[in-house]
Chain A
Amino acid sequence: MDEGKIGNVEMICLLVNAIACKAFFTSVAAVVEKVGTAGWYMVLISDIVAIGVFSQMYALSKAYPGKNLLEIYDDIVGKKVGKVLSFISCIMLFVTVSITLREFTDATNVYLLHESPPGFIVGMFIIAMVTVCFLGIEGLGRVAKFLSFILLFNFLIVMVLSYRTFQGYKLFPILGYGLGNTVRHGIMRSSAFGEFILLGVFAKALNNTKDLGKIGYKSLIIGGLIISIVLFSVIISFPYYVTTELADPLYIMVSLIQYGRFFQRIEVVFIFTWNLSTLIGLTAIFYGSIICYCHVFNIKDKKPIIISFGISTYISTLIVPSISIILDYIVPIFRGYGWIGFYTPIFISWAIWLLFRRGKQTNVEKS
């Protein structure tokens, strides 16, 4: 199966959607629950932490030009341990898809398709993901670039139109539940940006792996800004004690847009953004997990794996019996400790490279 090549902008679009699509669901309320009114800049702290970790990944990529992150793991820590690290990344990406897809399904069930069984919604979504994955990274990248500008425009439009619900005092007390608490949660929840590892996984699809740094930093900055804008607009629209009650604060905020008798109920515009962004983002993560899996088990033909991954995603998405379990246990644990799974392989590889391999590489270069 030919992977194909994608441009830098296409890769940025993929990553931004993968990072930002979570902000459409319950994460906003969870952040406000933890840090109160400081949520909008807590995200920026998380983003800075993620940029720091990305810099380590970028350093590895520069040290091993032309290789993807999984091959770099193999080179640094050896094939066996490298495969373990790749498998950890695979699991993290797979779980991200399952959790976000479940959140998407429950939100769709509540607001749009009340009578459709969750299995139907998940099934349709997975069919779309699988279809795009069959087209490979190239098709996915083209779709992402084609739609992302429209989605960004829609997103900005609904944010601007929500201006009337903004009341500045709701941003106060400005430090939320305290600066220390905000920084602590900012660091812990930096896994919200953990999808940047996709850039390492998809590195060989880039025309030049030297561009990885530019793409990564831009994606993380844009993704961080989008999530921060979402949180800012929600916090300035609803008092903190109300935001924590809402399953999808962003959707509810958009449903409040009302300009006279004619211009109202425009949340349908937002639903378009919400659905497509989630589809692009989750497909990228889904495809990333498949690549990791195929690398771990040396599988060349991804097609059968795509279908079996689709079925596995279907089951893992629906296996949790209720949204309460997702909100009370799974999402908090994943967001709070997800950084361990996302960042540990990079930390280990980077540390070993720094301590044992870098010197050798320098000597080779000198000689």
Chain B
Amino acid sequence: MLRRVRLILLLFFIVFLSISCYDAHEVDDYAYVTTIGVDNGTADKWRFSFQITNMRSSGSKETFDGKETSEYLTITIDAPDFFHAANILDTSIARTINFRHTKYIVLSRDIAEKGEFNETLGPIIRFREIRRTTGVVVSTGTAQSFIEEFNPRIGISMARMQEGLMEQSKQTGFFPEIQLKDFYSGTKSSYRQSVAILAAVNDFSILQQNAEDDENKIELGERKAGELPRKGGNTVEFFGAAVFDGDKMVAEFNGYETRIMLALRGEFKQGVFTFHDPLKPELYVSINLKQQKKPKVKVEFDGDKPVIHVKLLMEGEILSVQSRIDYEEANKIGYLEGAAEDIIKQQAEALIDKAKELNVDFLNFGSYFVKSFLTIQEWEKYNWIERMKDVKATVDVEVKIRRTGTMIKSSPIKGTEEEE
């Protein structure tokens, strides 16, 4: 009997202690921050912006008086330190700011160019609530204005829109999928240097400008974030990449450059390549290319100089042929493959030249060269990140068009005025 009483008392004691009162919190005790931004401040050193989910608005967006409530709110504060800012904001929003669901960190171009990441938002990686899978974005304008516009105009939730946007890197290759862990380790790396997503608010003014003449026309892929000639939809756009030397931003890449950078890093999934028809150059051909395999890379040393041979392997599917030339035929498909290979090779060589000129390894070439060194001391003495300027590189591209879409040939158009 006494044994049973003891057991019951023990169980009661354990249950009583296991209710975790200390750490128990209701979901609405917190204000969940989805995006964090930093600019230069005026009242204090930095200006921090927080985009916070308004949980009251989930479900119905209308209040009793018929007004629409926003799904988010943006709060901006000037402060000398990130956590100081967050702590002070707790006093005005009556909830504790929580970063468990933060999806993006936004640096303004100013902050990025001055190399102030490690003073502003870099140290927050230490905080338990910050996930290292958070995306890192450089905004061409202020981070504050970017965050204010960073919400969906199409009927999906903000969280879905923000997560979905990152997924588009895999579908297009026009911007890299960069997480905090990659960016942070890149700033300290002996193997490579960092890149971040280039983003901007598009005010849609470029679409309304007078059409440029053919010579000055900028191809879509050669534009950067904020410069796309479009109107409607979300005002923010991710397009291109920001390249860093240490924690200092040293270059911006357009969409094409970013795509080739990803292909050379072996991180390109798929994307639509549109180029002049090799047999009718006034028209365009579109093919969807996928990088099915990582690039084949061989490295060697010419004396002290690093030499790298890269072979890119792409597979594709024809999406559209404006000229209706039968590229599906076995004897003509080579024209398309050759044209795609030439363009990619040209762009890759130009990008490697740019890397040498900047002396920045954003192509992750260091990850191949490191295998030639036996010890960390030898590798650090060689000081790879100073060596990019000396690299001799050759690029080979192999494109194989495996599929032709839903058509196996294109019949001519027939009309009374003209016959093909």
Which residues of A come within 8 Å of B, CB atoms? 36-37, 110-117, 120, 124, 127, 131, 167, 169, 172-178, 238-242, 252, 255-256, 258, 261, 264
Contacts and interface: CB of A to CB of B under 8 A. Distances in A.
Given A124-B17, A172-B370, A256-B133, A242 B376 contact: no
A258 B133 contact: yes
B185 A173 contact: no
A169 B22 contact: no
Nearest to A113: B23
Contact of A255 (B20, B132, B374): B132
A172 B371 contact: yes
Given A111-B128, A239-B189, A256-B181, A173 B375 contact: yes
A64 B377 CA distance: 50
B370 A178 contact: no
Given A167-B367, A172-B371, A255-B131, A115 B22 contact: yes
B191 interface: yes
B374 A175 contact: yes
A252 B373 contact: no
A241 B188 contact: yes
Contacts of A240: 376
Contacts, number: 75
A35 to B, nearest CB: 9
Interface in B183-233: 184-185, 188-191
Given A127-B17, A258-B133, A173 B181 contact: no
Interface in B38-88: none
Interface string B1-39: 000000000100010011010110000000000000000
A176 B190 CA distance: 14
Nearest to A120: B22
Interface of B: 10, 14, 17-18, 20, 22-23, 128, 131-133, 160, 163, 181, 184-185, 188-191, 367-368, 370-371, 373-379
A112 B128 CA distance: 9
Given A111-B128, A241-B190, 14 more contacts: A36-B376, A113-B20, A114-B128, A115-B22, A116-B22, A116-B23, A124-B18, A167-B367, A169-B370, A173-B379, A239-B189, A241-B185, A241-B188, A256-B133
B218 to A, nearest CB: 34
A239 B376 contact: no
A252 B132 CA distance: 8
A352 B112 CA distance: 68
A64 B367 CA distance: 55
B304 to A, nearest CB: 17
Contacts of A174: 374
Given A124-B17, A172-B370, A178 B375 contact: yes
A120 B20 CA distance: 10
Given A110-B128, A175-B374, A115 B188 contact: no
Contacts of A131: 10
Contacts of A241: 185, 188-190
Nearest to A116: B22
What are the nearest 3 A-B pairs in CB distance?
A169-B367, A116-B22, A172-B370
A182 B162 CA distance: 45
A169 B367 CA distance: 5
A178 B377 contact: yes
Nearest to A174: B374
Contacts of A173: 370, 373-376, 378-379
